[in-house]
Structure 1
Amino acid sequence: MKILLVEDDALLLNGLQKALVQQQYCCDVANSISEARRYTLNDYDLLILDLGLPDGDGLSLLKTWRQQGCVLPVLILTARDSLDDRVKGLDSGADDYLVKPFALAELQARVRALMRRRFEKTENALQFGSLKLDMNHHQVWQNGNELTLTRMEYAILRRLMLHAGKTVQRERLQQDLYDWTDEIGSNTLEVYIHHLRRKLGSNYIKTIRGEGYRLESQAE
């Protein structure tokens, strides 16, 4: 899953990016409104937005994106802690509001909650047949036995389980890998799909020619 983090405090930006990557999220960053506008929002699952940016107000940027049809869940980070500020932020299109300073554990919990809402899940655990994936502790089990997956294998499986039974576009899966390698080769995704099939069983992941991949329930 991929997050866009917009924050102008370099120290906080770097720390949050590292923390999110450790939680198995891809995370692109921007430190201004002009830089944030360079990104294609459809590539992301969540937006974390600071309000006090050097070239404008984050709320104005959020309003513009909402008017343009952006439906991403948005978590606001800000030092503005009055009731009026929180109400204004939520009314401007934010889904959640976190006041600085905050505990990293709370940020991570709010991110998980927004991700669950986005994918219409009620728990941090995903279940598909004999497969179970814990999005909180980044663990995967098959028939009760824990599997050892690499970060990329985990990222691919998590995306497929979030859309179990539906085709996930190849480009969407590739987006989930970008933070963990300098270059994505033409067959990088296929290599990790092959590794997953060896660990899960060859019938779990079906190739949809010309489109992407699908997790199949008939594998059970």
Structure 2
Amino acid sequence: MKSYGQYCPISRTAELLGDRWTIHIVRDLLTGTNRFNELIRGNPGLSRALLTRRLHQLTTAGVVEHHDDGSYHLTESGRDLEPVVFGLATWGARWTFGEPTSTELDPDLLLWWLHRQLDTTDLPRPRFTVYVPFTDHPNRYWIVVEDEASICLADPGFDIDVTLRTDRAALYRTYLGRISLAEARRRGDVEMTGSRHAVRAFLTAFRQSPVGEIVATESR
């Protein structure tokens, strides 16, 4: 970004964080993403070349450090951005977060976010499989939990423990904190089928977005 030419801390911060995708990269690093390919997967439209440049800029500025194992982590100054980033979430949830547009209802991104948020600790083992067919989109997804959760775009051939059937907007609303999964199920926005034990286990494992609590509070 071209310098504003103003000796002001707001200007300096805007020069560092104001480029396209930079705040998203910091957001994802704050919420547990630390691999290059994961940053790409969680930000459709961000090219590998641009991500490389942005990470280089953040590393040069002392906000991010690149570890020997290939991972990226926030430094102390980077972690200090947490109230800034989540402050933007608070303001956005209060003033700009209306209904989604059709272009914002990306099912690939939603399932990527959702499967990474699952608390798999108490899910039945050795394998727990969730099938997610959308009622308003042709893509089908399978979340397979073994040692960790993974997302499949083709049928892995495993027995299905829970089928989660819904439309994209309803699942986005649920994941982003406008309504709990249990309430969405009671209202009929989300249909869950499977054994009582499996459904209960998934309800417990489901975790909303890191900004879910903010959205739930500010968008009422």
* Pair in the same fold by TM > 0.5: no
Higher strand share: 1
Higher helix share: 2
Taking structure 1 as the reference length, what is the TM-score of the superposition?
0.29
Taking structure 2 as the reference length, what is the TM-score of the superposition?
0.29
